[in-house]
Structure 1
Amino acid sequence: MECCTLSAHLVDASEKMDAHSQNDKLNNSDELAKLRKEVACLRASEKEHRRTRESLQNKTRALGERVKELNCIYALSSLVEKHRTSLERILHHVVEVIPSAWQYPEIAAAKVAMGANTFITANYRPSKWTQSADIRVRGEKSGFLQVIYLEERPQCWEGPFLKEERKLINSLAKRIGEIAERKLAEDDLKESMVRNKALQNSIPDLIFRIKKDGTILDFKKGKTLGQKIKAKKIIGRKIADLAHEYPFLSKDITGRGMTNIEQVFEKGTTQLFQHQYRHGSKTYYYEVLLTVSGRDEVLGIIRDMTEWRKLEKQVLEISEWEKQRIGQDLHDSLSQQLAGIAYLGKTLERKIAAKSFEEAKDANQIVKLIDDAIIQTKGLARGLYPQWLVGEGLMAAFSELADTVEKLFMIKCCVEYDQLVPIDDDLTAMHLYRIAQEAVNNAIKHSLARNITISFRNDKNQTVLTIRNDGIGFKKTFCEGMGMKIMRYRANSIHASLEIRSNGDGETAVICTF
């Protein structure tokens, strides 16, 4: 019995041991699985870490390359700012900077060729490991940029060169081309400025630029004008504020100038204005040319016409003197000779008639022609030298002019005036007479007038000389002709205005107001 019980206990104990053993095996298996899983996770983590580290290294290396590229571009820009003298000096320094931006700077060399100039690094020599890009200036190939490796290196995107290095060399070549274009533009601008400066200096006139509001933008003295004005003191200031410093820039003068500027902006074309400035007993004459040179600015040129006016006056005085001399010669010499011939002709006519020759009629006709020639000669003499101006005054001279026109051209010409208008100055009277004479001649020649009226009246403290005709009017070319210019000059000489008016039906009036 005990034996059976012991045997049962042994069996039971054996079963329990087997159960424990089985449990231990199961527990060990779970632990092992966990360990294996952890190992797998660690291995995966290590691989991820390795990839991350490699990626970080690649990015760090790429970042280093980008930094080198940026340093190269920055160095290029700095060289441009530092060396503004010439493109050659810039390229000489640029070629030394470029190799440092490549992956293997220790074995890199560079070459820049533009036109007849070539720049290389000290270690440059021919190599089969090259990378290059064209340099284009104003759309045309002007040279090239080349980077070489002196030794073999592992293959990358373009031989031993990185993809980013291709982008960089293209960018540098483009940048060099832009620098060259800018330098060429700067050189062209400098040459243009030198030419413009030389051109300005060769012009003896005063030149200025002024804004629409009167602000002075630029100023250049003339040979005779503006000598006391310092450009630095007036540029940036308004012209109306300068009167207290420069008396000749009075409010009246600057006001007229600003009015002229407004007219130029309104019309949009170049305008020419005449001005005069009186200082004491002297009168100065100026010609002002204004043209729009910007959205709100005008370029002006002021020419001193004072000496020119003096010369014109002298020319007219000489011309007037010559006319008077010729008129006197016609009256005193030719007219007398013609009168003598007429007397002899009449004597001959009487002798022939006494002998009853038929040629007496021919002799009589010759005498009549000589008498007509005498009348015309005297008329020409009076036109060239109107003695009436000295004796009986301007009204008598106008009346004589009208009579001469009626006799010579069979045209009705009359003189109208309310009262005698005294003209004390002989030169003024002569200019008025010549203006009337020229206007009458033009009415006959160009307007084909049949009726001419010379009117001389006082009107509101002004004296107005009007020559009116009923012809076909004047063509535009006449208004630009020499005769009209001389008439305007004569009017300006006596401080008068001259204008031509037409009513559209052919009636034309030349009006001189002073």
Structure 2
Amino acid sequence: MQTLLYGKVASLRSEVAAILARRGHDVQVCARPEEARRYGAETEPPLIVLILADEADLDACREIWAGEKGIERTILIVLPDESGASMLDILEDHGIDDFYLGTVEAARFNARMQFLERKVHAKRRRRLSEAELAARARQQAVVAELGKQALARTDVQTMLDYAVQGTVAALNARCGVILTAETPEATFRLQAAWGWEPALPPETEVPPGPAYLPGYALHDGAPIVIDDAAAETRFALPPWMLDVGVRSGLCLVIDGRTQPFGMLAVFSLAPGAFGKQDVDFVQAVVNILSETIKARAAEEALRESEAKARAILSTTVDGIITIDERGCVESFNAAAERIFGYTAEEVIGKNVKILMPSPYREEHDGYIENYHRTGRRKIIGIGREIIGQRKNGEIFPMDLSVSEVRLNGRRIYSGIVRDISSRRQMEREILRISDQERRRIGQDLHDGLGQMMTGIGLISQSRARKKKKKGLEEARQVQEIAELIQEADQYARSLTRGLTPVELDAGGLMTALRRLASNAERLFGVRCDLAADEEVLVHDNSVATHLYRIAQEAVSNAVKHGKARHVTIHMERENDEVILRVVDDGVGFPEVLDEEKRGMGVHIMRYRARIMGAKLDIRSREEGGTEIRCQLPRPEAAMTFSRGHRP
């Protein structure tokens, strides 16, 4: 342990220094105040021992222990003369950790040092725990933001720029870079960079092949950890990396749709700066980038394929269906036949509702009648995503655009249908990966740091009890340490519950909703109830997580935007449907609201409902407040309609 020892009296310095050296301290002995201040500022020793020979030395000692702001130290004042007791009141007001009063006796001084050493180690463990929690939280935030950008269909370059910047910041690294190559044999070119001084020019590149880090990473495929760049023998770093003085680094490959897209690397000026948890975090970032790039590439390939098909066949790939005022089908093109599995002869003359699942099938005629009576449009002239049903009973998501045409004095409706199962599958996969990474980080916090904190807390409590039984003075301080460790453990567990809100069992959703209601009351100061006549079991954990997130967003909106004082979460099962309702007594929800003024929360709730094949309605209640209703038909078939399963 590094220790700073200051005192004007040479004999006392030598005597105390000898005791500290025998206890294994790395002691820096200073006879002059300016020497002690300089050493304290340069090395930041965790323990300072000041021999206060007389009251005239008080100002010099005060300057030494004040040190630099933000540096946590443990300070012992040695008052070798019994007359120094008169200074105790002055010293106690300045945050001194302990005092030693009287002649320096080895046994008594050793006992005092044993207590202080434990205090120093406890402070160090607490700082390490706090730093670890803060680092994990920063990393979680980066992964969550990337997942959100992927869902919001942010362009790839913006995501790459954020990935480099966020990864460097979360790891407290010096700089980072993303390099890409058109083929594994091509030159690597700069795609995104952060933290380089001076900034890297756009034409920055690295030769291909395993002789340099990027090519070696592609060839090896596994994460590459550089502990000491000066001793690295597997590959070379390009000169522009060495010029900034990097000593350690971390490099992972970003996969593309048919071949590697490139690599993400971060660097530090200190050796051995990256460990396994850092590798796991960067792997999560790379996974989201990879899946996004693959999805965008697949979408682009699909668009090119559709364009070629239209050019070759001169026909549309979208289903086109026309119906009359009564809803009877008049035309059904070849693409519609492929989409729904019916032949035109089987459909023409029948009501179009045969292409819809319940409950939309039963409601369709009422929509047409309401439009004819009021002229109020709900879908005509507006593109919308709905659920269709094929001949074999399979349900699937589709985009529907309906237009109205008056022909020869009568009214017909033309609908253009596009099957978006593949797009939904890709979006669901991105969301699954993001949730999986959050769950993994949460599990790591629980199983790793959480268990460690629990163990440390139990040890500290045991030590406190033993010292209290012995009547030792330091028992209170040890108990305080145990309580601080317990607080840190509770904080880690709350982080874990936020990352994995729904347990992996059928009843996990109800447990999570009860916890949500309790947390809302505690955090927002409102009344929040869970109303359920029976336990509603949802066996699909992905569906349960979506329902929980919708309820969480609805409760948050009710308090923050609706100014509600009472919120009720209803969980019900009617026939073979699961219904989630969140009802509040706030200011209500405007029926007409500019899309640009709607927050991301409403969009994300609707998106999650679509992913499950559910129907989400938001309305103001006549008696005041807002009701958000998520109706999930046949939950045993939820999340499967695009995979070719029958409901």
Query: Normalization by structure 2: what TM-score?
Result: 0.38
The structure with more radius of gyration: 1
Answer 1 or 2: which has greater helix percent.
1
Query: Normalization by structure 1: what TM-score?
Result: 0.47
Structure scoring higher RCO (CA < 8 A, sep ≥ 6) equals 2
